[in-house]
Amino acid sequence: MAPRTLLRTCPLCEAVCGLTLTLDDTDRVLSVRGDREDPFSKGFLCPKGASFGKLDDDPDLVATPLIRDGAGFRAAGWDEAFDLIAARFAEVVAAHGSGSTGIYLGNPNAHTVAGALHLPALIRALSTRHIYTASTADQMPKQVAAGLMFGDPLTVPVPDLDRTDYLLMLGANPLESNGSLCTAPDFPGRLKALRARGGRLVVVDPRATRTAAVADEHLFIRPGADAYLLFAVVHVLFAEELVDVRVEVEGLDELRAAAQDFPPDAVVARTGIPAATIRALARDLAAAPTAAVYARIGTCTAEFGTLTQWLVDAVNALTGNLDSPGGAMFAAAAAGGVQRSRPFRPGRWTSRVRGLPEAMGELPVATLADEIDTPGAGQIKALVTVAGNPVLSAPSGDRLDQGLAGLSFMVSVDRYVNETTRHADVILPPPRSVQSPHFDFALLQFAVRNYARYSPPLVALDGRPSESAVIARLAAAVSGQPHAGTGAESPIAVVDELVIAGMLHKAGMSERRDELTGADTTEQRLDLMVKLGPYGEWNGGDLSLKTLLDNPHGIDLGPLRPRLPGVLRTASGRVELAPPQLLADVPRLRDGLMASTPEMVLIGRRQLRSNNSWMHNIAGLVGGSNRCTLQIHPDDASRLGLGEQAEITSAAGSLTVQVEPTPTIMPGVVSLPHGWGHAASTTQSVASATAGVNANVLTDDSVVDAISGTAVFNGVPVTVGPA
Ligand SMILES: Nc1nc2c(c(=O)[nH]1)N[C@H]1C(S)=C(S)[C@@H](COP(=O)(O)OP(=O)(O)OC[C@H]3O[C@@H](n4cnc5c(=O)[nH]c(N)nc54)[C@H](O)[C@@H]3O)O[C@H]1N2
Ligand SMILES: Nc1nc2c(c(=O)[nH]1)N[C@H]1C(S)=C(S)[C@@H](COP(=O)(O)OP(=O)(O)OC[C@H]3O[C@@H](n4cnc5c(=O)[nH]c(N)nc54)[C@H](O)[C@@H]3O)O[C@H]1N2
Ligand code: SF4
Ligand SMILES: [Mo]
């Protein structure tokens, strides 16, 4: 049989590029190209996407369920694995109650159908408040700020990249990350186009990144100081009467009053940015025909993460750029739509040990180790992890490493035996990517152009359960029902039918169940979501699962359109510019103006041919620039007498690291990428041989962004000396 050409969305980052794959007659991926006919990605492909085939059939992937056997694992059947899970969960719950179970959900869940559609059933089945995800090591500050300003934490504005005249970007490096909370395939090309049409790009970052290199202007900023910079911009906008709000807002006077304490001169020492530069920035933003402020991970995982994210959209609103073409806009996703009826409220409950706030139903991952280590009612005894590696990704990861080893029971759904899953009693593998369907339920809500694309599984499951089926059966097992019913009795069909019935009922369309199409109940759910969505066949449009299947390269649904006030869920029905929960944290920010700055601070960085902790097992992706090195300014390196290796110490721990002197980083700042520190005891042969060190030995789980509980990875005080 000749090689087959098949189409699929790349699941490896937020850019959602279309891929054109060729598969041989054993269903192995022979080649990967960018899909030139995809209307959104137009053929773009990065080195990770090019490695899709290598990742898909890495010989070190887990292929069958694994059950702990002494120090290692043995292969097991699915029934045996689920029987064991049901029995052990029942024991733990009988002895300690359901509050002693917990779950950690990692980043790839944002890219899988199982993550979007079936994890909620697993979370419900566990019936615990111990819910942790990578969000509190990532974007939770943005979601909390958006929730308070717009009423819903999924209502996050994105820069209208293709039309803006001026983009101010803080703490993001899309030339390496390909963008985040801003779904934009070929981000580099879009920035090039911005400048080619006469637009201006200004990058704020403690490092002169690849993105800074293609900008009109780069401003070095002291880590953790973005809220100061943005407050000073707000101050100037008010002081110079440049405010031009074009949407209905509440709290303008309160915002003006809060900004009083942050004139540009007051923040110079803290930010390292001259007052004249800050004034010019404010004036330029106000004067540009259209402008957008966009801030990402460098500004989220910082001491004042939520305040910073608030001020980003406050500036967008004050300059007349919120919800307006060329400004910061809200996507309308084909399978989306605001579900909530009441305004978002964070902190509805707090964590047991440290009293940290809940947000969106979850607790901060920075306190997961506390909840495992601290005895008493509610201590976590049994843990589920799905697509995550918190030993390398959570603050004080080494502490978690020890905590996981002491659990009564742990089950992980993952492709690999990694630094986290090696502690599991049972590992359940998802099938290969080519055996999985793909639809971006989450990421298309943050797209810079409205677009939809569905990829059905390309290769038959061949006896393996889909990841959705694994999750649904796990949900049944932790509730004491280990057995896989068949057909309509299977856990996955039961879950899907419940959701379908609920959605149809809510829409007043219960009689239309039979009109849903799709190869299985999960595809029928997608059909329903799309039909009820903003372009849907049952909502005045023509979109359905069928139109998605008929257009395998994806469907362009047009540029972003203004969506206010329709998407707002605030009590006032207006954009809240000064939510009380945010104003309450401003005194802490003001106190920070007086605090002494540490001599040396640590920040992170992302690497082009990597993805957090899990792409280091592909030989073509590691090495070269993708190594675990401590970047430090040459002046600092010589002042400190550093050789090839250095010892770096924080309040949390100490590491010996490889030194990489580079003038691209600010003096007084060092950068270490996360996701390294691979253990020898996993099955990842390549990753173990290029181990590196775990940056999260240095990050301190006792320090969080107060409002969202998010971990602080940027601006960690450290000392550095010769090894
Ligand atoms: N110091 C520091 N720490 C950080 C950050 C930082 O900037 N600095 N960044 C933070 C951020 S933004 C994030 S998102 C987190 C990431 O934190 P995590 O999500 O905990 O870590 P990942 O390394 O992304 O682990 C993903 C896991 O999912 C598995 N996997 C991949 N695909 C699939 C799939 O389809 N199904 C299943 N079941 N498993 C799959 C991989 O094998 C891997 O084990 O790290 C955070 N940690
Ligand atoms: N190739 C690749 N792509 C990825 C990932 C990956 O690991 N590799 N991870 C994915 C994930 S999970 C995410 S969340 C996204 C993140 O996507 P981005 O937000 O674009 O992430 P980074 O590339 O780490 O860029 C963050 C920048 O913030 C800077 N920074 C650090 N501290 C501060 C500060 O205090 N203030 C300011 N202004 N800047 C600061 C850093 O120097 C860095 O250049 O990327 C995703 N895409
Ligand atoms: S940019 Fe992201 S989505 Fe596009 S090919 Fe690379 S990894 Fe895949
Ligand atoms: Mo992330």
Residue 159 has pLDDT above 90, yes or no: yes
Return the ligand 1 atom nearest residue 433 CA: 35
Span 466-520, pLDDT tens digits: 999 999 999 999 999 988 888 899 999 999 999 999 999 999 999 999 999 999 9
Q: Whose CA is nearest to atom 8 of ligand 3?
A: 49
Residue in 297, 589, 714 to alter for ligand 2 test, most ligand atoms within 8 A of Cβ = 297
Q: What is the C-alpha separation between 326 and 329, in angstroms, rounded?
A: 8
Q: Whose CA is nearest to atom 45 of ligand 1?
A: 393
Residue 73: CB atoms within 10 Å? 20
Span 652-680, pLDDT tens digits: 999 999 999 999 999 999 999 999 999 88
Given a contact cutoff of 8 angstroms between Cβ atoms, the answer to whether 500 and 528 are in contact is: yes
Residue 27 falls within a domain, yes or no?
Answer: no
Section 376-394 average pLDDT: 98
Residue 100 falls within a domain, yes or no?
Answer: no
Backbone φ and ψ for 709, nearest 5 degrees, come out as 70, 10
- Residue 232 shares a structural domain with residue 300: yes
Residue 550 falls within a domain, yes or no?
Answer: no
Residue 605 falls within a domain, yes or no?
Answer: yes
- Residue 177 shares a structural domain with residue 208: yes
Q: Of the ranges 173-182, 481-490, 544-553, which one carries the lowest mean pLDDT score?
A: 481-490
Quote the pLDDT of residue 626.
Answer: 84
Looking at residue 338, its amino acid is V
Section 40-63 average pLDDT: 96
Burial class (CB in 10 A: 0-12, 13-18, 19+), 488: exposed
Residue 278 falls within a domain, yes or no?
Answer: yes
- Angle in degrees, CA 523, 524, 529, rounded to 5: 95
Quote the pLDDT of residue 336.
Answer: 83
CA distances from 44 to 16, 354, 715 (A): 10, 46, 34
**41 alpha-carbon distance from chain centroid:** 20
Backbone φ and ψ for 349, nearest 5 degrees, come out as -145, 175
Write out the E strands in 560-653. 575-576, 601-603, 629-632, 645-650
Quote the pLDDT of residue 683.
Answer: 84
Return the ligand 1 atom nearest residue 106 CA: 19
Q: What is the C-alpha separation between 393 and 397, in angstroms, rounded?
A: 7
- Residue 202 shares a structural domain with residue 311: yes
Taking the CA atoms of 648, 654, 660 and 663 in sequence, report the sign of the dihedral they define. Answer: negative
Residue 688 has pLDDT above 90, yes or no: no
Return the ligand 1 atom nearest residue 606 CA: 7
CB 50 near ligand 3, within 6 Å? no
Quote the pLDDT of residue 596.
Answer: 87
Tell me how far the alpha carbon of residue 104 lies from the centroid of ligand 3, in angstroms.
Answer: 25
- Residue 583 shares a structural domain with residue 706: no
Query: Where is the domain boundary, 567, 589, 611?
Result: 589
Tell me how far the alpha carbon of residue 172 lies from the centroid of ligand 3, in angstroms.
Answer: 16
Tell me how far the alpha carbon of residue 386 lies from the centroid of ligand 1, in angstroms.
Answer: 10
Quote the pLDDT of residue 370.
Answer: 98
Residue 712 falls within a domain, yes or no?
Answer: yes
- Residue 181 shares a structural domain with residue 297: yes
Quote the pLDDT of residue 139.
Answer: 98
Quote the pLDDT of residue 553.
Answer: 98
In the block, tokens 């022979």 appear at 30
Section 36-40 average pLDDT: 98
- Ligand (nearest to CA of 391): 1
Which pLDDT band, with edges at 50, 70 and 90, does 548 fall under?
very high
- Ligand (nearest to CA of 174): 2
- Ligand (nearest to CA of 698): 1
Q: What is the C-alpha separation between 367 and 359, in angstroms, rounded?
A: 13
- Ligand (nearest to CA of 296): 2
Tell me how far the alpha carbon of residue 634 lies from the centroid of ligand 2, in angstroms.
Answer: 23
Section 585-604 average pLDDT: 95
Tell me how far the alpha carbon of residue 393 lies from the centroid of ligand 3, in angstroms.
Answer: 21
Burial class (CB in 10 A: 0-12, 13-18, 19+), 83: middle
- Residue 582 shares a structural domain with residue 690: no
Query: Where is the domain boundary, 589, 614, 636?
Result: 589
- Residue 214 shares a structural domain with residue 317: yes
- Residue 579 shares a structural domain with residue 693: no
Tell me how far the alpha carbon of residue 93 lies from the centroid of ligand 2, in angstroms.
Answer: 40
- Residue 710 shares a structural domain with residue 580: no
Residue 484: CB atoms within 10 Å? 18
Given a contact cutoff of 8 angstroms between Cβ atoms, the answer to whether 80 and 73 are in contact is: no
Residue 84 falls within a domain, yes or no?
Answer: no
Ligand 2, residues at Cβ distance < 6 Å: 13, 107, 138, 170-174, 176-178, 180, 204-207, 209, 221, 223-224, 226, 296-299, 302, 603-608, 610-612, 714-715
- Residue 704 shares a structural domain with residue 579: no
Residue 634: CATH number of its domain: 2.40.40.20
DSSP string, 241-306: T-----S-EE-HHHHHHHHTT--HHHHHHHH---HHHHHHHHHHHHHSSS-EEEE-HHHHSSTTHH
Return the ligand 3 atom nearest residue 186 CA: 1
Q: What is the C-alpha separation between 187 and 176, in angstroms, rounded?
A: 10
Query: Where is the domain boundary, 589, 612, 643?
Result: 589
Q: What is the C-alpha separation between 522 and 502, in angstroms, rounded?
A: 14
Quote the pLDDT of residue 338.
Answer: 60
Span 394-427, pLDDT tens digits: 999 999 999 999 999 999 999 999 999 999 999 9
Q: What DSSP designation does 617 have?
A: T
Residue 42 falls within a domain, yes or no?
Answer: no
Residue 263: CATH number of its domain: 3.40.228.10
Domain count, the chain: 2
> Regarding beta strands 449-452 and 426-428, do their DSSP bridges make them parallel or antiparallel, or are they unpaired?
unpaired
In the block, tokens 């008010």 appear at 238
Tell me how far the alpha carbon of residue 440 lies from the centroid of ligand 2, in angstroms.
Answer: 21
- Ligand (nearest to CA of 189): 3
Alpha-helical runs (H) found in 411-466: none
What's the chain's average pLDDT?
A: 96
Tell me how far the alpha carbon of residue 246 lies from the centroid of ligand 3, in angstroms.
Answer: 36
- Residue 251 shares a structural domain with residue 326: yes
Quote the pLDDT of residue 681.
Answer: 79
Residue 337 has pLDDT above 80, yes or no: no
- Residue 273 shares a structural domain with residue 311: yes
What range does the domain containing 232 cover?
160-330+575-589
